[in-house]
Amino acid sequence: MVDVRPFRALRPAVGLEQRVICPPYDVIDVEEARAYAGGDADSFLRVSRPEIDLPASVDPHADEVYARGRANLDEFIARGVLVRDEVPTYSVYRLVMGEVVQTGIVAAVSVEDYNADRVRIHEFTRPDKELDRVRHIAALDTQDEPVFLLARRSADVDAIVGRVVARKPDVDLVARDGISHTLWVVSDAAEVAALHHALAATGHLYVADGHHRSAAASRVHAARAGQPGEHDAFLAVVFPLDDVHVMAYNRVVVDLVGRTPAEFLAALADVFDITDAPSAVSPVTRHEFGIHLDGRWFLARARVVDESDPLARLDVSILQDQVLAPLLSIGDPRTDSRIAFVGGIRGTAEIERLMSSGRAAVGFTLFPTSTEELVSVADAGQVMPPKSTWFEPKLASGLFLHPLD
């Protein structure tokens, strides 16, 4: 049983949603955030990336940045840009990107379930990024960026969601990137109770995206032990496993550690079956890889795969264990500055751009890691290589917040 509870959300006032919402804090840099906000006083980036209100010379991790985020949030509330639900609610949240449709439930999930491994993770966090989220949440006294969670599909949850989405939505908009965001607020006490009961029976939950946010929530709760407030839960959106769209997380490496392209290709041929490709390669099945090298594309197929090991059989693990570590000396991809990661949404063109600009010597495209593979690794208590999954579309920021007071 997991505690996936309703809460009194802080939301944009009716009619202001389009002005408020923005991309997640971690998918745009500060200059992109400044350009996106464009000086709009109602852009939520003033809360999620408050450094945009300060001189460019200010360190984004300075105390004044976190303080400005809190001041901006207080200002939004004072001006009525954000308003609080009168009663605890859930929200049904649907995102549509082309033919991709995914529908989840906005809720507050127990930190104790996270600490007890009933909310399972599949990757390590970086200490600096985790600390940044701790300071941000503590300063705001609010969780403003949801954790993306996965759950096994539940017929009981589906039945309730089906009834909810048959009604007129409370929010229905298309963001600047063309992704539609639709939200139905669930406030009826009987419906809330039924949904709480149904969600509790779904079994373990899995962090798809938001490892730093969930870890930070746990740390904030520990620091506030015994104090009043709702710091014992974290903001999340829970999606069925088979309802989400996963893209590959591709890789580029800046050099070939002294090898010529021909020598590196020969070394690859010792572990992969390699054929020339007439154009850019986006793998269509597991254990296939695209390789961009010396202005050419190749299709590579792994020869040896341990299908009995849920971690070793991942394509990201095969690439790391058979190529990146032994051939390119990338021992820890979390910290090695010679490797960079390219989200699948950017496509093969981004790898070609990095290569042609001289910023990378070789690029790799992968087949997407599935949600079933993610769950298998998490259930085994193992940890994937970093940047193993890219979930798209992204959850919007600013549509709902979880105050901790």
Beta pairing, strands 402-403 & 390-391: unpaired
Domain check: are 20 and 35 in the same one? yes
**The predicted structure's pLDDT at residue 3:** 97
Residue 297 included in any domain:
yes
> Is 308 found in the same domain as 221?
no
Query: Does the structure show a pLDDT above 90 at 20?
Result: yes
Per residue in 222-243, pLDDT (tens digit) is 999 999 999 999 999 999 999 9
Mean pLDDT in residue range 363-382: 94
| Confidence tier at 299 by pLDDT (50, 70, 90) | very high
Say if residues 51 and 31 touch (Cβ distance below 8 Å).
Answer: no
Q: Do residues 117 and 239 both lie within one domain?
A: yes
Decide if 178 is inside a domain.
yes
Q: pLDDT at position 191, please?
A: 97
pLDDT digits (tens, 9 = 90+) for 317-368: 999 999 999 999 999 998 899 999 998 888 899 999 999 999 999 999 999 9
- Same domain for 273 and 176, yes or no, is no
DSSP string over 269-316: TTTEEEEEESS-----STTEEEEEETTEEEEEEES---TTSTTTTSHH
Supply the pLDDT for residue 387: 87
**Alpha carbon distance 382, 311 (integer Å):** 7
Statement to judge: residues 282 and 196 lie in one domain: no
Q: Are residues 266 and 235 in the same domain?
A: no
Structure tokens at 379: 């259930």
Average pLDDT over residues 146-158: 97
Q: What is the per-residue pLDDT for 124?
A: 87
Judge whether 226 lies within some domain. Answer: yes
Per-residue model confidence (pLDDT) at position 252: 97
For residue 25, the model assigns a pLDDT of: 93
Res 27: pLDDT: 87
Domain membership of residue 381 (yes or no) is: no
What pLDDT score does 131 carry?
96
Please report whether residue 387 resides in a domain. no
In this structure, the answer to whether residues 232 and 314 fall within a common structural domain is no
Helix (H) or strand (E) holding 345: none
Q: Which residues contact 270 (CB under 8 A, 6 or more apart)?
A: none
Residue 308's CB is within 10 A of a number of other CB atoms, namely 7
Distance, C-alpha 344 to centroid of its chain? 13
Contact, 47 vs 140, CB < 8 A? yes
Domain with 344 in it:
249-367
Q: Say whether both 256 and 240 belong to one domain.
A: no
Q: Are 114 and 220 in contact (CB under 8 A)?
A: no
Q: Give yes or no: residues 240 and 363 share one domain.
A: no
For the chain, the domain total comes to 2
Model pLDDT, residue 343: 87
Question: In this structure, are 224 and 312 located in the same domain?
Answer: no
Q: Quote the DSSP letter at residue 7.
A: B
Residues 336 and 296 occupy one common structural domain: yes
Judgement on whether residues 212 and 125 belong to the same structural domain of the protein: yes
- pTM for the whole structure: 0.90
Residue at 64 is within a domain? yes
Mind listing the pLDDT tens digit for each residue in 53-69? 999 999 999 999 999 99
> For residue 304, which amino acid is it?
V
CATH number, position 337: 3.30.1760
